[in-house]
Amino acid sequence: MLAQQKATDLAYLALVVDDPEKSAEHFEKDFGLPRRDFKCGASSVPLISVGATAMALFGPADPFLGPNPKKGVHHLALCAADPQAAAGATGLPTTGNLSKGLDGKAQISLDREATNGVRVRFTEPLDLAPPRSDLVERIDHIGVASADNRAARATFIDRLGCVYESQQTDSEVETISENFTSDTHRYIFHTRPSRLVGSMRVTFITVGDCELEFLQDLTADVGADAARHDAAGDTRADRSAIARHIASRGAGLHHLAFKTPDIDATLGRLGRTGYRLIDKTGRPGSRRARIGFLHPAALGGVLVHFVEREEI
């Protein structure tokens, strides 16, 4: 039997938030995750340890992010003892030269167009505090709005050394029925043809102790619904969110998901604490999971959800 391939390690995930200090406080106080501050140029950046990696919290004006960063998940940094050599080994083009990143570590960025819209950097490993949280076990996955999952698999597996985990198709079908009841002519039941209202191809690729979740819209001929943050989600709404992201920002990092031992207890606890919820209880999600989303405003503009699932 062949030995399982080891996934590329994830150094950190960069998040752009309204107020890094306020978001760091939420992660520390309400999520029970440890924090360390690292120098990055003239800034001090909070790093929140989660599982085997960390989240680096940046403000929208931080020059380290490059021009015009949007709130949300900005880039991921892969561990490399020699970032320049690691980037060169991929055969992918880079943006700029080797420079200093978090904690003065050497880092280099890959060209976003060559990585299917995902901003990817290589950096020397960081010294992180081990997390101990009863709410968050680790990052479950990082959601990616994808234009082409087949191309993403070739890039992240063949070029970047990540490991294929699984793939599935999510679909929602709408069926309308009509009933005609007469006191003379009895009862007639009629069903209209079913209509596909949302479908996605979902590909999971392992990086570090979590996955990248590439979400490709398969119903491009169906108009996307307007954004709703006041009602529990479903496949149709999730597909619409990906379609809107592709239309407005192009392909790229979309959301962040934390693995939790009890989705309903977690959502209930955060709701009582004052967090605005999209899903108040867990609903069906990918990989036989139950999931629940927070409103993006709850954590400074980052779309976050929780996942309860058994490891296979």
Q: Check residue 5 and give its pLDDT.
A: 47
Spatial distance between the Cα atoms of 26 and 121, rounded to a whole number of angstroms: 27
The whole-number pLDDT of residue 187 equals: 87
Residues 50-86 pLDDT 10s:
999 999 999 999 999 999 999 999 999 999 999 999 9
Close Cβ partners of 15 (under 8 Å, ≥ 6 residues apart): 23, 55, 56, 57, 58, 72, 73, 74, 256, 300, 302
Which pLDDT belongs to residue 222? 80
Give the helix/strand (H/E) hosting 215.
strand 210-217
Residues lower than pLDDT 70 in the chain: 1-7, 227-231, 312
Give pLDDT, residue 109: 97
DSSP state letters, 195-212: EEEEEEEEEEEEETTEEE
177 vs 122: CA distance, rounded Å: 55
In the structure encoding, which two tokens stand for residue 123, read together?
């950096």
pLDDT of 280: 93
Query: What domains are defined for the chain?
Result: 10-308 (3.10.180.10)
Q: Report which of 199, 207, 107 is spatially closest to residue 152, judged by C-alpha positions.
A: 207
Per-residue pLDDT of 149-165, as tens digits, reads 999 999 999 999 999 99
